[in-house]
Each structure stands twice: as structure tokens, then as C-alpha cells.
Structure 1
């Protein structure tokens, strides 16, 4: 990693950690260069990286200011910033994003899936049932995520699976957060069965509705069993 990129990453971490909240004027160039033991040119390049993602903005003659995360144009930094917010808003927003993408994926998969896809989905659903009964949350989450990945792949659109890659760890943590509750695991299994039945029937509208129902149940489970207990 280039030194300028490393400094940009360290600056971003300071911003996400709240050291430089939205609207804050960053220290002057000389001060930051001294803090990070870098030349002014290297520091300038680091700030340029953040500016390209709209994490900061430059006002001529006034300095460099931090923008709010909802103005940032890079997904990974925004996810990191959202993950630091309290109150479960990240999990709820993630479910909303999943619904937008996965309902459409299920609709496409209903007419494009193969028999091999259906077989794999059935096997993963059985694995979810077995691991739920054994109380193995990690294995349940692995099977759950794999089930959805098969559907996205079966959509026949190579861009769809890539849309979730930036969420990475956040997606896994969100599933683990809800799947740790036995009742939520039972609800998930029932809705996965409905999705699989719709895909077997080759009915795009039924598949879309089944996935939307699954997402709605997931959001309700989060509010009822996880966020409520946290409060």
C-alpha cells in the first residue's frame, strides 16, 4: 500500500471513530503532515483520496471539512461508519438493502434456475434444519448465506452476487445476530421453504413475494427478539 493510501486509511479511521465528526475542519496540512510523519505532498495525496470519495470537501481559503457519511460515495467507508452507529440501524438498513436486491434475484431465478440449483437449495435447507436443531449458529448462518448465494447465482445475472461483496463481515454478523435466537431460526426455515417452493414452481411473482415475506419476517424478528432485548 502506498504511503498516501495508508495515511488516507488512518485519516478515515479517525473520522469514523469520531475524532473528526461531520462538519469538522481538519487540521492544516503542515500539522497533519507532522502528525503522520509524511511530506506535505504525500499528505495532499491522502486527502485527495478522501476527497474523491466525498468523505471530505475542500473550501478554497478555508480548509478541508468532513462530510456526513450519507454524502460519501464509496460503499466500504460508509458501511464502516454505519457499523459504528448504536441502536441496530445498520442491521435494519441491511435488511432493506437485501430486500431490494434479493426479491428481484428470486424473481429472475424462478425462470432461470436449473435442477442442480434446486437440488443444492434443498440440501442447504436440510442443513439449516439440522444445524438449527443442534443449536449450531455458525453452521446455520453458513448454510443460510449459501442458500441466498445460490439464488443470486441462479438469477443468471453475474452482477447480482457482486453487489453484496462490499458488505462482507457486516452481512455475516447481521445473520449471526438474528440466527442466535431459536425462534428466529424456525421462522427462517419456514420462509426458506416457501422461497424454494416458489422457485420449484417456476413462478416469478410467487418467488418475489416469498422473498419479500422472508425479509419482512427477518426485520420483524430483529425488532422483536434482538433490538427489544438490547433495549
Structure 2
């Protein structure tokens, strides 16, 4: 990592932790150079990198200001910012993102999946059942993640599996929280069974509906069993 990249990372961390909130001005270039013990050229390059991601904006004659995360254009900084937001907000937004992507992916997978994908899905579902019986949350979470990853690959579109790649750690964390609850495991297995049946039938409308119902149940379970228990 170059010095400018290192400084850009440090500034991004300070922005995310609230040292420089949205619409706040970053210190002048000279002050940043002194604080970081780096040259003005390095500071300028670091700011340029943040500008390229729309994390900050330069107002001529006034200085460099922080943009709100919803204006950032790079995924990695947005995910880092999201992980520092309220846990409730993060979990619900992840479910919303999953619904948008997975409903369509499952519809496409119903048309393109092959017997290898179906065999993998059956195996993952069987592992989920075993893990639920054993009370093994980690095993259940991994099988759940593997099931959805197989659906993504079943679309036959190389881009689809990559859509969730940056969210991997966040999705696993959220699933550990919900899958630790026995009733949620029961609900999840039932909905995964419906998704599998729709994919086996090769019915895109049924597949989309089954995944949408699963996402709806996931959101409901989170609000019912996780949020209320924490109140």
C-alpha cells in the first residue's frame, strides 16, 4: 500500500467513525500533511482517491467536505460505513438488498439450473436439517449460505454470484444472530424446501414467489424474534 493509499484509509476511517461527519470540512492540506507527517503531494493524492469515490467533495475557495455515505460511489467504503451504523438498520437493509437480488436470481435459476445444482441444493438442505437437530448454529449458517450461493450459480450468469461477494461477512454475521433461534431455523428450512421444489419444477414464477416469501419471512422473523427480544 502506498503512502497516499494509507492516508486515504486513515481519513476514511476517521470519516466513518464520525471524526469528520457528513458536510464537515477536512483539515487544510497543510494541517493534514503535518498531522500525518507526509508531504502535501501525498495528502493531495489521498484526497484525490477519496474524491474519486465521492467520499469527499472539493468546494473551490472553501475546502474539502465530507459527503454522506449514500452519495459514495465505491462499494467497499459503503459497506465499511454500514457496518458502523445501527445494527438494526444494517440487518434490515441487508434483507432489503437480498430481496431485490435473490428474487430475480431465483427466477432465472429456475430456467437454467441443471441436475448438479439441484443435487447440491438437496445436500445443503439436508445439512441444514441435521444442523437444526444438532443445535449447531455455525453448521446451519454455512449450509444456508451454501444453498443461496448455489442458487446464484444456478442462474448461469457469471455476474450474479459476485453481487453478494462484498457482503459475505455481514451476511454471515446476520445469519448467526437469527439462526441461533430454533423457531427461525424451522421457518428457514420450510421456505428453503419451497424454493427447492420450485427450482426442481423449473417454474420461474413459482421460484420467484418462493424466494420472495422466504425474504418476507426472514424480515418478519428478525423483527419478531430478534428485535423484540432485545427490547
Q: For the superposition of Structure 1 and Structure 2, which TM-score range results when normalised by the shorter chain?
A: over 0.9
**Superposition pairs of residues 138-177 of structure 1, within 5 angstroms:** 138-177=138-177
Task: Give, in angstroms, the shift of residue 174 of structure 1.
Answer: 1.3
Deviations 1:93-147 (A, max 9, x none): 1111111111111111111111111111001000000011111111111000000
Q: Partners in 1 of 2:140 and 2:87 — Cα distance?
A: 25
Q: CA RMSD in A?
A: 0.9
Deviations 1:152-179 (A, max 9, x none): 0000111000111111211111111211
Which secondary structure does the structure 2 equivalent of 1:217 belong to? helix
Q: Which runs of 5+ in 2 are unaligned?
A: none
Q: Partners in 2 of 1:67 and 1:155 — Cα distance?
A: 36
1:93 aligns with 2:93: yes
Task: Give, in angstroms, the shift of residue 87 of structure 1.
Answer: 4.8
Which secondary structure does the structure 1 equivalent of 2:143 belong to? helix
Aligned to 1:4: 4
Which secondary structure does the structure 2 equivalent of 1:220 belong to? helix
Q: Partners in 2 of 1:143 and 1:78 — Cα distance?
A: 27
Aligned to 2:40: 40
- Please identify runs of 4+ aligned residues in structure 1 that moved more than 2 A: none
Aligned to 2:197: 197
Aligned to 2:114: 114
When normalised by structure 1's length, the TM-score is: 0.98
Aligned to 2:63: 63
Q: Partners in 2 of 1:225 and 1:182 — Cα distance?
A: 10
When normalised by structure 2's length, the TM-score is: 0.98
Q: Partners in 1 of 2:49 and 2:152 — Cα distance?
A: 32
Task: Give, in angstroms, the shift of residue 34 of structure 1.
Answer: 1.3
Which secondary structure does the structure 1 equivalent of 2:196 belong to? helix
Q: Which runs of 5+ in 1 are unaligned?
A: none
